[in-house]
Amino acid sequence: MSPPPPASTDKPNATPTPTPTREAVITVAGVDADGLNASASGYVSGVVEDGGVCTFTFTGVEGETTATSTGAANPSTTSCGFVQVPIGDLARGTWQVVLTYSSDAFIVSSAPTTLEIP
């Protein structure tokens, strides 16, 4: 009888690490208390890097305006900080705000958030 084969030293197949979900999130979209500006802020989950461009697009019946900021890495997200648009650039009514983050490696857009301009 032959001896049993040597025990395998190979590691079992490792489960691959899932790719994090990348999602742009608007945390604030509203008119400032003084009524002079509309403000927005947000972040991108699943992306941790400095230097990408955060574009907040305000779209309403009168057209579109944008405000940009530079992404900043946090421990688990990329912060897009806080932007302001003069209220005079936005007609009264309902606006949709979308955050789009773009860098050399990623392009991620948020779901629209409604903003009411009084």
Residue 34 lies in a domain: yes
Q: Is residue 46 part of a domain?
A: yes
Does 90 map to a domain?
Answer: yes
* Residue 7 covered by a domain: no
Whole-prediction pTM value? Answer: 0.83
Q: Which pLDDT value is given to residue 113?
A: 98
| 9 located within any domain | no
Per the domain annotation, does 10 fall within a domain?
no
16: in domain: no
Query: For position 98, what pLDDT does the model report?
Result: 98
CATH number at residue 39: 2.60.40.10
Taking residue 13's Cβ as centre, other Cβ atoms within 10 Å add up to 6
118 residues of the chain, pLDDT tens digit each: 666 555 545 555 556 666 679 999 999 999 999 999 999 999 999 999 999 999 999 999 889 999 999 999 999 999 999 999 999 999 999 999 999 999 999 999 999 999 999 9
Q: What are phi and psi of 87, to 5 degrees?
A: -60, -25
- For residues 80 and 78, give the distance between their C-alpha atoms in angstroms, rounded to a whole number: 7
pLDDT at 62: 85
CA 90 to CA 79: how far, in whole Å? Answer: 25
The neighbouring-strand residues paired with 44 are: 24, 78
- Is the separation of the CB atoms in 109 and 99 below 8 Å? yes
**What's the domain count of the chain?**
1
Domain that holds residue 96: 23-117
What pLDDT does 2 receive?
Answer: 60
